Structure 1
């Protein structure tokens, strides 16, 4: 059986902190996600797809570079004023598409740092290293996450709507000297949302943020508008590219359901689960609007949509928004253990959907796949040869992506928030011994950290409840040795 024609266009839709059990097509009955359920029905739903990390920055680094996070010692959760962790000269997924003649764009969350680091970022001037220096022809982003300053959009190299007479200043220094700005403890009367931990520095839009920001009042985003602002830029990118009659690659990095969860007015109360459920419904609507635009332009048949999430879910990630109290019987991780930050599968086993009429097989696949594989897989699809130093951990799994190969990878590596390692190999999952607490009290999530080795048979223990490391010591020895070999290797592809 041969793989059918390649899609003309490719869109990666990347959610933020969405869990394995948060979508209807992955089993929830508490949140209605008809548009993503339609992608599932028309496409391929993966049960064994993984991010490379249980937190966002390392996962995003991997999907764009084809490298495991441990290859870059700066691939950790970044502040909003961080230097870019992808250096110019490192090959990237959009750069590869660009070499193949595609028009490339990013819209949404970035969180990989900006500038070359030779000087602090001057938000009032052109920023000298942004996504447009890393393979993207067009870029409309916010710098980090919605809970971190600066709370502004950046198009290309410039902050959008910035007035010269109201310059922006940003600092993450706890000894902030911005005495003239509203802050969490100084001005509690301005808060619309309270913090459960952290998020207690600048108040912007009635919400406490991480970091301090002064100035740029007309450049500030309105949280309720984030979803539609990004969606409108996505539609503009697609429409403009179609006028050029050029194939496109789009990385649509959603901000939902990351905190602070502030749905637009039309989605308030959309679920009984509070803001977290509401923003997932809002996210699903955005995907539906994207789908309708592709239909309107007559290019749906020629476009592959890959939908996934950067890592697993968390309910309380710093704001008192009722996520725990209103969650009811909903299980954001589905049958998985752990969640965001965790070494257990709930941290990095994520929803992963491929939708395209040219799929060899539709329905459900148990192929083992990592998001790091998108780079080499799309290179194969495009007939592009990769240099030896490019995408060194990415494996060509295009046959699995389109449903021809039901097996996928033999093994894959994942990191938790402490950079501890998990190896999935066939039906075995091995968690290497780690220092640290087995439970993160602030977010109420099991970390999977233990001084003991942990081994789970995923064929019958998807919830990782029965540690069989002592019964299968030879498997433990082999998998620990394999982790060391991967980490010492120059490449695994």
Structure 2
């Protein structure tokens, strides 16, 4: 009888344990770490040998590494728009790279990625770069009072951000739509049309710069922390950041959000400043990479990932936390500042085997590192060539939570949760890429539509423009060196027609109303 009781007790304990694990897996924490301008070849896990990235490499060793994962665009604002809305950004006017005083471009009447999590009972937070606009459409932002519409309007419970990019004014932090450290006696003013105030500019006072800039990139306006910015600003001097502190400030805020919400499921969108220009990492990383300030910023980025992983382990929640690491677009070297990115490469290849880079329709514009770790669910050390896009995360998590999306929600997002967790090697059949021009991929074939204009951007990257159609077989020519358009005119015709159909339809998913 006693043996029987022990047997029954053991069965019950095992059942309870299984039930607990199963319950946990239904609402795992999710941390989405978004690097800025990181290339396919910038990490050790993707073949880099000239720089050490042990923490991101650890994610690959303990999780799933994607070789065919994409952003929605080759530049930052549209990629972020696609991630949060599940919609190709080229469908909506005004989703190009935004100035620092732009209004909110995310629709508030449709599903968003954070809103999907919030609907499932998650605490949602964003820490880091925003660059999706703030405030009501058509209204000039008043930085000296709480901003009415920001991350809170699209599904985030908590936010600690800067408005646009590190090279654009205003160079301030906002916590829950309020400027941090602002003094009422020193109000902020911002203009992207004309100079305001009497503060020195890079154009007028180059002798004050600690980081020289190329005038054709626009980094010659108001000087903040010895660096010329895009746009003019005055006031708010005590609220301005020092570039060297940004990485640490964002990391501290992200870790605090994790710790404060460890008892409940949370979603953290951790949008890093690194490795976007101006590359000015903390002193502890300067000169350590041997690849100039860009390489040093990669070291700081990798350190940040390590701090997040360590915090999860310290809190005992790493097994019930999905960590996703990726980048908003491909790499750029010369992006307007003299920071050694070009002259100190020392054999490092940021794009790996790919062609192009940031802003390009070639693969290096949108094909980026993508790593997923979920202990106990995702098999460690696995690699997949499934074709996935960041805009698919919205429909994938909505499907995981059994939420029904409306027909007008996330019109281009596909439920690929099985692919994102390594349970399936099947990804997308079709993907539209946005760089200097529009391209479409189907079954390994890539068509880039004809386009006139310069073939090279001011940052030095090829943009993919060509007056003639381009067709590449990515399965045999990943570097896009052989244009096969004249050999396969029927394939060109098929893909051009498919691209036009996707444009006209206004959506590429099959979701319909009942």
TM over 0.5: yes
Kindly indicate whether residue 157 of structure 2 is the aligned counterpart of residue 137 of structure 1. Answer: yes
1:435 aligns with 2:452: yes
Tell me what 1:276 maps to.
294
Q: How far did 1:380 drift?
A: 1.3
| Mapped pair 1:151 → 2:171 | yes
Distance in 1, matches of 2:139 and 2:250, equals 29
Give the 3-state SS of the residue equivalent to 1:446 in structure 2.
coil
2:196 touches 2:233 (CA, 8 Å); kept in 1? Answer: no
Residues 1:473 and 2:492 aligned together:
no
Q: How many residues align?
A: 484
Q: CA deviation at 1:7?
A: 5.2
Contact 1:191-1:208 at 8 Å conserved across structures: yes
TM norm structure 1? 0.96
Give the deviation of 1:189 after TM superposition: 2.2
Runs of 4+ in 1 over 2 A off after TM superposition: 4-7, 358-362
Could you tell me how far apart the structure 2 residues matched to 1:248 and 1:35 are?
Answer: 22
After TM superposition, give the deviation of residue 475 of structure 1 in Å: 0.7
Cα displacement string for residues 129-162 of structure 1 (whole angstroms, at most 9, x for unaligned residues): 1001110000000000000000000111210000
Alignment match, 1:408: 427
CA displacement, residues 172-195 of structure 1 (integer Å, 9 cap, x when unaligned): 01x3242x1111122222110010
SS state of the match for residue 55, structure 2? helix
**1:182-221, aligned counterparts within 5 Å?**
182-196=200-214, 197=216, 198-221=218-241
Which secondary structure does the structure 1 equivalent of 2:391 belong to? Answer: helix
Aligned with 1:41 (options 61, 84, 91): 61
- Give the alignment's TM-score, normalised by structure 2: 0.93
**1:387 Cα shift?**
1.6
User: 1:213 aligns to what SS in structure 2?
Assistant: strand
- Tell whether 2:433 aligns with 1:446: no
Question: Superposition pairs for residues 31-430 of structure 1, below 5 Å?
Answer: 31-173=51-193, 175-178=194-197, 180-196=198-214, 197=216, 198-242=218-262, 245-362=263-380, 363-417=382-436, 420-430=437-447
Aligned-residue offset at 1:118: 3.5
Query: How far apart are residue 170 of structure 1 and its match?
Result: 0.2
Whether the 8 Å CA contact 2:71–2:390 is kept in 1: the answer is: yes
SS in 2 for 1:445: coil
- State the alpha-carbon separation in 1 of the partners of residues 203 and 147 from structure 2: 32
Alpha-carbon deviations, 1:365-421, whole Å to 9, x = none? 00000111000011111121112211111000001001111121101111114xx21
1:22 aligned residue: 42
Contact 1:7 1:304 (8 Å CA) reproduced: no
1:72 Cα shift?
A: 1.2
Q: What is the RMSD computed on CA atoms of the aligned residues?
A: 1.2
Alpha-carbon separation, structure 1, partners of 2:250 and 2:228: 22
Q: Does the CA contact (< 8 Å) of 1:149 and 1:212 recur in 2?
A: yes
Give the Cα separation in 1 of the matches to 2:418 and 2:107: 31
What CA distance in whole angstroms lies between the structure 1 residues aligned with 2:400 and 2:299? 33
Corresponding residue number in structure 2 for 1:487: 503
Selected match of 2:475 from 452, 456, 459: 459
Whether the aligned pair in 1 keeps the contact of 2:63 and 2:378 (CA below 8 Å) is no
How far apart, in 1, do the equivalents of 2:470 and 2:272 lie?
Answer: 34
Residues 328-383 of structure 1 deviation map (CA, whole Å, 9 limit, x = unaligned): 21110000001001110011111101111133544110000011100001111112
Distance 1:6 1:182 in 2: 55
In the TM superposition, residue 315 of structure 1 has moved relative to its aligned partner by 0.3
Q: Deviations over 1:266-320 (max 9, x none)?
A: 1011111010000001000000000000000000000001111010000000101
Distance in 2 between the 1:269 and 1:445 partners?
A: 26
CA deviations on 1:55-88 (whole Å, 9 max, x unpaired) are 0000000000000012211110000000111132
In the TM superposition, residue 90 of structure 1 has moved relative to its aligned partner by: 2.5
Query: Matches of 1:108 and 1:20 in 2, distance apart?
Result: 22
Counterparts of 1:388 and 1:248, CA distance in 2: 27
SS at match of 1:346: helix
Q: What is the SS of the residue equivalent to 1:265?
A: coil
What's the CA shift for 1:490? 3.0
Name the CA distance, whole Å, in 1 between partners of 2:442 and 2:149: 38
Greater shift, 47-56 or 80-89, is seen at 80-89
